[in-house]
Structure 1
Amino acid sequence: DQAFARHDSARQCVDVPAGAVLDIARRAVVADGMQVGYATTPDDRTVRFAAERFRTDTEGPYVGAVVSVADAEPEAARHDRMVLLIVGGCVLLIGVVGVAGYLLAGRAIRPAAGALEQQETLLAETAHDLRTPVAALRALAEAAERNPEQREELLSRTVRLAKRMGGIIDGLLVRARLAAGVEQLTMQPIWLDQLVTGVVEETPADGAQVTVTAAPTMVHGDPVLLQRAVTNLLDNALRYGRLPGQKAIVHVAVANGRVTIADSGPGIDPAVAQSAFDRFTTSGGSGLGLSIVRWVALAHGGTLSVYNAEQGGAIFELVLPPATR
């Protein structure tokens, strides 16, 4: 066994177990290199040992070791703070990555969700707008099958109805493409009075009385969409703007960028006037296709409104911005 010589420093020293010091000194003498270790003092403080062996003769055996003892509490505190910072940083990083992933995933999914919603809307509107024409088309075909002598007249009505159905589909497809950003509005100067007059001439009146008062007026818009909007308004007036058992009486007026269509029906209930242009609303004078008319008006920076006339009937008014020359 090797002797241990204790040196008492003039400074305040840490009280450490002598056995721990002797143990690390012995290990340093027999080992190759410095030995490092930790121990706990009687007052529960952590200390750090470092022992380096020595010899009195360069060729002789190692005869002892120098042991240094240091207070490891500051080092332990720094270690704890470092661990806390690393753990806290990892938690914060995971949180940031999670939030970023959520936001990026939402942004990536949003276009797909929007496209799916547009597709569902298109299918719903198509089914709704075509339900009545398809039923009428079937009724005409069955009537022609039962009445051979009326086939020519029924065939003519069938062709007109098929054209109307094609127009409905074209309007819905154009709206869907515009809403999806696939197609842009073809804006150009348009003589609104000529466009409306052409729509009235091409729309079968089916016995209704339709009159037109048109003053030259030019607007800036998409001719295809505006034609669809006017067609829907006129079709709505012809189908719903009449009293039971009577023929529809419709007056169309065009002036100063306004298209006014007045009918002779029961008018519109003020309680549902605000929802008259919602999809699938058919109350009073508001029928199929009015939601498309409102969308066309808004796409052109215009408005669509409805109110009751003093003498009876509903009045639909489409207002478009005038063309700038």
Structure 2
Amino acid sequence: MEVFDPRAAAPADLAAWSAVHAAGRRELSGGSPEAGELAERLRRGYGGPGWRWAGRVHEGGPVLGTAELRRQPHDGGIGFLRLFVDAPARRRGLGTRLRAAAADRARAEGMARLQSTVLAGRAGESFARTSPHLRTLLHLELQVQSFDEETLGRCWRLASAPKRGYRFTHWVGAAPAPLLASFGRVMNHLLDAPGAAFQEEPRRWGPEDVRGWERRMTDDGSRLLVGAAVDRTSDEVVAATVCTVTRGPVADQHDTAVLPAHRRRGLASRVKATQTLRVHENFPHVEAVAVTLNRENTAMLEVNRLLGYRRTAERLLVEDDLRP
């Protein structure tokens, strides 16, 4: 096990680290940057702030395990750990050593808790539960929407139905200046969703906060696509949904929010249906969208059912107490 600096790593080690990490992210969440794209971003120093480690079964052997520790944006006292081990190298102590190194660094940096997501009922959950201080915070569903003819047709019918008083728009990258402030106000309501307080802090986003969030969403090279519903009277965003797209075939759906005064009008389903069509139109290499939802978020589970999402796995958000 060793500290891993992508900018100083040998090309073969960087390629191997990126391949293991990208494969792990695909297994866990359905989408990931392509390994080559990730390696290039890391080599150029665009991977975002954090600490990384590489694991080898034998000294001088190939990199077969990766760990990446970052502070949670909503609470600097909580770390978030991504840890992946190549399948043939599992159950050989590599993950244990990587986790110990990350936990030691987290404590040294003043973090009291360490969070991760794992696939329920798989090797990752068994490994996580070897920690005596672990607790489960959320039960999550991993869902995938395939861009097949039936699903695209369903989205087209929903997106094309008139909705009096609203217009629907989208943008790739930075929010247009006229919509920036109202988009931030919509994003402030993400914590209205069940369980969101475990992953986010109360928001009072202004324009600069939105710009910072846009940079964080794209620091791994992903493209950011936002779909929005705009009130025709005020010309302000009242509902929005967010995707990131890499060179891989699966995009990631992140957040969907609607201002309280505009809920129960079908806006969430319409902005998500429109978003699916825009991803398909703007990024023809994408074949599906993946999303993770809290099982208690019944309203969004119903929206996704209408849009052709299907459950593929269950994930857990777990937390390890690092305090003595």
**TM-score normalized by the length of structure 2:** 0.21
More strand by percentage? 2
Larger Rg: 1
**TM-score normalized by the length of structure 1:** 0.21
More helix by percentage? 1
Say which structure, 1 or 2, has more relative contact order (CA 8 Å, 6+ apart): 2
